[in-house]
Structure formats: structure tokens, C-alpha cells
Amino acid sequence: MTQKKRLDPTKMKDWEIAQAGEADMKTVQELAEDLGITHEELFPYGHYTGKIDYMKVLDRLENRPNGKYIEVTAITPTPLGEGKSTTTMGLVEGFGYLGEKVIGAIRQPSGGPTFNIKGSAAGGGLAQCIPLTDFSLGLTGDIDAITNAHNLAMVALTSRIQHEFNYGDSFLAKKNLKRLDIDPNNVAIGWAIDFSAQALREIIIGIGGKMDGFMMKSGFQITVSSEIMAILAVANDLEDMRSRLDKMVVAYSKRKKPVTAGDLEVAGAMTAIMAKAINPNLMQTLEGQPVLVHAGPFANIAIGQSSIIADRVGLKLADYHITESGFGADIGFEKFWNLKSRFSGLVPDCSVIVATVRALKMHGGGPAVVPGKELDPVYSSSAPELVEKGLENLMAHIETVKKSGIPPVVCINHFYTDSDEEIAVIIKAVEAVGVRVAVSKHWEKGGEGAAELALAVKDACNDKKDFKFLYDDDTPIRERILRIATEVYGADGVSYTPEAEEKMKKLEEQPESKQLGTCMVKTQLSLSHDPSVKGRPKGWILPIRDILEYQGAGFLVPVAGDIKLMPGTASNPSFRNIDVDVKTGRVTGLF
């Protein structure tokens, strides 16, 4: 730890810090021993990462009381991100610095942002999850498993369409297949790949002859937006996952009836692919505290949560369990609150809202923050008046967390360019609304720098909670969407395109749809659907252009604005900086 504390993040890149810290990592067996995990409960993947047999751990510790449950969210970020994963790692290190038994849960990074602009989401500075290369480049194969299971469902679907189109009922009967009468113009999913590949958003498949498949429009989505990733996040066990995969809607018949993976008799094989992925991955912070890595990112186009299984395991293994939600409280926390907590039955003791001076300046009218371009000097010089103007965005997120009945704590993720005057403006405003606030220097100082935050969170965990969902199980679909739009985003109302309206009416006629949760798809860069609108927008209507049906995951997915399920790669992607030292085999350039 002493060696790691001497590292200077102002003079080193994140991957250089990670590699320096990896020199004296704990082995995965040592991590497991610290947590009280037995030899039979650990599946090592090399020296420093592994999987935990969640069933054995939960069975053995069934009667152990849960630890304190802490959720980490944020304000509306700049396109660069405001260090939510960094804060999560820093808070874990902070509790470790205080001598508490702590464990964190973060999401596995997608290859899309890792090789594009944002990076791998391992944290930064002296608050990182390591080993960085393993974390960033595939880990133990969970995302590959999701990709393969998703694409196997598409193989089953497109094969069945081809056979039903080319052959009669007698041929199908000989093969013990019943005609599903699939409508090739009404397919619910596409293919999956874990890159930002805009050229694959819309494609034509089956070009060729009769034996080359049925020619039809199709497309790709990024793997982490797959319903299978959502199922991994919300499943309680393997039996639950198998049942959810069986109900996954892949297409509709010509009579507009859902065709599921169960109908295609492929859900069992999909579960077989996912059988190992359901076990959480075990890693560590730079200061040696344990971290569970499970499920995926992108709360803007997916549920974006650490898995329920990881949280259940963490709550049994430690006195404090810190879990991460994607992006701001308008989307990540809202889904944690109304979906994940509803499915898990677990209620957090505290929610940490990460804020930065940089983001508040942007919301206060500062110049545009553009990935790959140098920041305007205002973001590294003192401008407390700009910070004050941007506070309305922070206040919106505080109000959202308060509506849940969970005590909020605002974390000012300190950048070394922040001035005392800017910090004072934030503290004064947050304390004025009766909310705890702490300045955390975890990026620069690791656990020692997060001690103030850890103490504030520890104190908040003892506050009285009055937890309540934003909507009840029997609240109509339209009303749920309206409540999220008006009470969380701040919209004046909701509008529907003709396509979305048609789908809504059909869903309202299906009794099973009324039991599904609501998982909104919306930009993370604004409280509204328009990423260019900052601060706290007023006088606007949320436009719903589509509604997806995730019967397996257990929710409907209203799509707001022009957001897509397949991001694009920018002109200056990070893969240009990633390489391998051919003499040592070490990967360089990750961040």
C-alpha cells in the first residue's frame, strides 16, 4: 500500500498506475481467503481473477445478516464521464482505509467504449480495479457468452424462417417442428457484437440462393444492450435465468403473437452457454480490497446495473457492500430503484451522488465538452459563478433520490484543478437542502483521500429510510412512463409516434404486459431526450418513438428520442493508443 500511495496520478497515465500497482497484487486465493470464501467456492482464472460459486456461498451464509447496502449514482455527466466507477473504487478503498470489511460491485466494461472514447471504466488514478488488462479485455468471458447466446437465438430464428418458407408442413412434421408462422418483417431482435459498429446497424441477410437463408432486413446491436445482459443482471439464480431465457421474445408471428426462444427450443442451449457467466467475477482495488465484477454498462440503452447475484453475495460476505449504477440518477438510479430493487427485494441504506466541478460548469453554460478535443480553459480555472448556475442539475438528482426514501450523500469527486471557492459553492448549496456532502480525493490519494466520504456514507447508512417505488405493480404502462418523464426527468408530458402508439395499444391488451417493469432508453447526456440540452430543462415533452418487449428480463423498454442500440466509433478512438510490448507481452495504452 505504501508503494501505491507514492504513485502520482498527475504525472502518470491510468494504465501506468495500474501496472505499477499490479506488481504486488493479492492472488485471487488470498482475496478469497480474506472474504472467508472456501476453496470449493472459488474458480480461479489465472493468478489474480476468478469466479465465485454464488450458490455455495449463499447457501452457506444464508443465516448471516446482510451488510449495509450502498448504491453509487451521479449527476448528468459530460461526455467524458465524471468518475462514478472511480468513486466506487475510491469509496471501497476509503472503507478499507477505515478498517471496515468492505466489498464493491461494478459492471464489466464493454468493448465498445473500451476501444472507442470513454475507456474501460476500471476507475482512474489511485482508485482503480485491477488487473486492468484482464478487466478491460474480456475478463472471464461473460460478454462473449452473452454474444454467443444472443446470436444462437438469431441462428435458431433465421433457420426456422428459412425452413418454414421453403418447405411445407409435412416436411416440418418429419423434423418434429411445428410451423410458427414467423413474420420476417416483424423480428424483435438483431445480431450482437461488442463493438461500436455503426456500419452494422442495418444490414440485409440471406443474400444468395435458397440454401443461403431467407433474405430479409436485419441489424446488430451492441452486446451489452442485449436482453440477455439484462437477464444476467436481474436473475436470482440459474433456474430463474433459464426461465427468463425461455420467455425472451425474438420475433412475432403473422398474427402478431410473440415467438420466444422457448418456442424455437433454443433456450436450453442458450442457458448452457451462460451457465458459467452467472457466477460473479472476483477482482481487487489498487489497495487490495475485493471487487465483484458482473453484468454490464450502458444504463442509457440497457438496465446498466451490477447484478442482483453480485449484490446478494457481497451483502453476505462484507459489512459494507457498494454497488454501482450506470450514468446519472435519472436513468441509472431510477432503474436501480424501480426495477432492480423490485426484482431483488433489497433496499439500499444510502445512495451516493457523484458530482464534479467540471460537469456543473458545463450545466451552468460552459463551453461544449467534446471527446478527443482539448477542454476549454474555463474547466481548469476558477469560475464559481458558472458552478453555481449548474447546481440546478445536481438538485434535480438529489430530489430523485429523495423521492425513493433513500438517504443521499453528495460526493464531490475532486479534480486537482478545482478551486476552494468552487467547492465551497457546492457544499453550501447541498447543505442548504439538508443533504450530506463530502469532498473526496480518491483519484489523487486513494483510500486516504476517500476517508471523509466513507465516514459520511457510514453515517448516512444509519438514517431512517422510508423506501417506496415510483409506481406500483398494477400502475398502467402509460402512467409509469408519464411518472418517470415528469417526476424524474422533469418533462411536462409524453408523446408517442404512430408506431409507438400502435405497440402501446397492443401491449395494453395483453394481460402479461401489465406485470412488466419499465426500462427507459434515453440519452445520458441530458435530463431530457436531447443530449445538447444541459442544466435542468423546462417546458418540454418526452417523445417515445418505439417500445421494445423484454418478456424474459421482465420489462418493457420505451425508447425516447433518437438514441440507438448500436453506438458508433468516433474519428479518434482509443484503440489507436492500445498496443502490446512484444518483449514482455504487457498491454499498454488502456485507460
Q: What is the pTM of this model?
A: 0.94
Degrees, nearest 5: CA angle 477-483-489: 125
Assess whether 107 carries a catalytic annotation. yes
342-353: per-residue pLDDT in tens?
Answer: 999 999 999 999
Average pLDDT over residues 69-89: 95
Final residue before a domain boundary, out of 274, 301, 333:
274
Residue in the block written with cell 459492471: 107
Given 43, 165, 415, 469, which residue is catalytic? Answer: 415
Q: What is the pLDDT of residue 572?
A: 85
Do 129 and 194 lie in one domain? The reply is no
Q: Is residue 574 a part of any domain in this protein?
A: no
Degrees, nearest 5: CA angle 122-127-129: 35
| Helix or strand (DSSP H, E) at 52 | strand 49-52
Determine the Cα–Cα distance for residues 387 and 430; give it in Å rounded to an integer: 13
pLDDT at residue 118 above 80?
A: no
pLDDT at residue 142 above 80?
A: yes
Final residue before a domain boundary, out of 224, 252, 274:
274
Q: Is residue 576 a part of any domain in this protein?
A: no
Average pLDDT over residues 142-154: 98
Assess whether 49 carries a catalytic annotation. no
pLDDT at residue 515 above 90?
A: no
Range of the domain at 122: 2-140+277-460
Do 288 and 429 lie in one domain? The reply is yes
For residue 326, name the pLDDT band (cuts at 50, 70, 90): confident
Determine the Cα–Cα distance for residues 444 and 101; give it in Å rounded to an integer: 23
Given 4, 51, 68, 107, which residue is catalytic? Answer: 107
pLDDT at residue 577 above 70?
A: yes
Assess whether 84 carries a catalytic annotation. yes
- Quick check: helix, strand or coil at residue 342? helix
Count the residues in the chain. Answer: 591
User: β-pairing, 587-588 with 579-580?
Assistant: antiparallel
Determine the Cα–Cα distance for residues 310 and 363; give it in Å rounded to an integer: 34
CATH classification at residue 501: 3.10.410.10
Do 212 and 182 lie in one domain? The reply is yes
Cβ atoms < 10 Å from Cβ of 416: 11
Determine the Cα–Cα distance for residues 447 and 100; give it in Å rounded to an integer: 12
Q: What is the pLDDT of residue 166?
A: 87
Do 49 and 98 lie in one domain? The reply is yes
3-state secondary structure 109-153: CCHHHHCCCCCCCCEECCEEEECHHHHHCCCCCHHHHHHHHHHHH
Do 89 and 23 lie in one domain? The reply is yes
Do 229 and 179 lie in one domain? The reply is yes
460-498: per-residue pLDDT in tens?
Answer: 999 999 999 999 999 999 999 999 999 999 999 999 999
Determine the Cα–Cα distance for residues 150 and 190; give it in Å rounded to an integer: 9
Final residue before a domain boundary, out of 460, 488, 512:
460
Q: Within 13 Å of residue 383, how many CA atoms lie on the same side as its CB?
A: 21
Assess whether 86 carries a catalytic annotation. yes
Do 9 and 96 lie in one domain? The reply is yes
Do 208 and 285 lie in one domain? The reply is no
pLDDT at residue 260 above 80?
A: yes
| C-alpha distance from residue 47 to each of 25, 32, 137, 415 (Å) | 10, 12, 16, 34
Given 51, 84, 503, 522, which residue is catalytic? Answer: 84
520-547: per-residue pLDDT in tens?
Answer: 999 999 999 999 999 999 999 999 999 9
Assess whether 13 carries a catalytic annotation. no
Assess whether 415 carries a catalytic annotation. yes
Kindly state the cell numbers that stand for 16: 501506468
Q: What are phi and psi of 507, to 5 degrees?
A: -65, -35
- Quick check: helix, strand or coil at residue 62? coil
| C-alpha distance from residue 337 to each of 32, 332, 462 (Å) | 30, 9, 19
Count of domains for the chain: 3
Q: What is the pLDDT of residue 2?
A: 37
Contact 172, 150 (CB under 8 A): no
Q: Is residue 470 a part of any domain in this protein?
A: no
Instruction: Please state whether the peptide bond connecting residue 384 to the residue before it is cis, i.e. omega within 30 degrees of 0.
Output: no
Given 195, 220, 327, 337, which residue is catalytic? Answer: 327
Given 49, 86, 260, 356, which residue is catalytic? Answer: 86
Kindly state the cell numbers that stand for 270: 442458450
Q: Is residue 586 a part of any domain in this protein?
A: no
Q: Within 13 Å of residue 363, how many CA atoms lie on the same side as its CB?
A: 28
401-458: per-residue pLDDT in tens?
Answer: 999 999 999 999 999 999 999 999 999 999 999 999 999 999 999 999 999 999 999 9
Q: Which of 80, 96, 79, 218 is nearest to 150 (CA)?
A: 218
Do 189 and 111 lie in one domain? The reply is no
Q: What is the pLDDT of residue 266?
A: 98
Do 148 and 262 lie in one domain? The reply is yes
Given 195, 336, 443, 591, which residue is catalytic? Answer: 443
Determine the Cα–Cα distance for residues 541 and 493; give it in Å rounded to an integer: 5
Do 292 and 258 lie in one domain? The reply is no
pLDDT at residue 3 above 50?
A: no
User: Bridge-partner residues for 543, per DSSP?
Assistant: 495
Determine the Cα–Cα distance for residues 396 and 534; give it in Å rounded to an integer: 12
Query: What percentage of the chain has pLDDT greater than the value 90?
Result: 85
Assess whether 336 carries a catalytic annotation. no
Do 339 and 446 lie in one domain? The reply is yes
CATH classification at residue 452: 3.40.50.300
Given 118, 358, 441, 522, which residue is catalytic? Answer: 118
Q: Is residue 30 a part of any domain in this protein?
A: yes
pLDDT at residue 5 above 80?
A: no
Q: Is residue 565 a part of any domain in this protein?
A: no
Q: What are phi and psi of 118, to 5 degrees?
A: -75, -25
Q: Is residue 249 a part of any domain in this protein?
A: yes
Contact 491, 529 (CB under 8 A): no
Contact 405, 466 (CB under 8 A): yes
Assess whether 158 carries a catalytic annotation. no
For residue 371, name the pLDDT band (cuts at 50, 70, 90): confident
Q: Is residue 566 a part of any domain in this protein?
A: no
CATH classification at residue 189: 3.30.1510.10
Given 149, 299, 359, 429, which residue is catalytic? Answer: 299
